[in-house]
Amino acid sequence: MSALDDLVSLVATLRGPAGCPWDRAQTPATMRPYLLEEAYEVVEAIDGGEPGALQAELGDLLFQIVLIAQMAQEAGRFSIQDVALGIHHKMVRRHPHVFVPGHVEADAGSVSAWEARKAMERPAGSSALDGVPNALPALIRAHRVGEKAARVGFDWPDAGGVREKVDEELGELDAALAGGDPAEIVDEYGDALLALANLGRALGLSPEDALRGASAKFEGRFRLMEALAEARGAPLQTLDAEALDALWREAKALSAATPNKGA
Domains of the chain: residue spans and CATH: 3-78 (1.10.287.1080), 138-205 (1.10.287.1080), 208-261 (no CATH)
Predicted pLDDT of residue 152: 87
Record the pTM.
Answer: 0.69
Q: What is the mean pLDDT of residues 216-238?
A: 94
pLDDT in tens, 105-134: 777 767 767 777 777 777 777 888 888 989
Q: In angstroms, rounded to a whole number, what is the distance separating the alpha carbons of residues 135 and 146?
A: 16
Could you give the angle at the alpha carbon of 197 between the alpha carbons of 161 and 150, nearest 5°? 60
Q: Label residue 262 by pLDDT band (50, 70, 90).
A: very low
Band the pLDDT of 256: cuts 50, 70, 90: confident
Q: Are 132 and 145 in contact (CB under 8 A)?
A: yes
What pLDDT sits at residue 259?
Answer: 56
The rounded Cα 46 to chain-centroid distance in angstroms is 13
242 exposed, middle or buried (CB, 10 Å; 0-12, 13-18, 19+)? exposed
pLDDT at 64: 97
Top-confidence residue, 52 or 124: 52
**Is residue 135 packed enough to be buried (19+ CB in 10 Å), middle (13-18) or exposed (0-12)?**
exposed
Checking if the pLDDT of 203 tops 90, the result is yes
Is the pLDDT at 189 greater than 70? The verdict is yes
pLDDT digits (tens, 9 = 90+) for 142-170: 999 999 999 889 999 999 999 999 999 99
Number of Cα atoms under 13 Å in the Cβ half of residue 217: 13
Q: Residue 263 above 60 pLDDT?
A: no
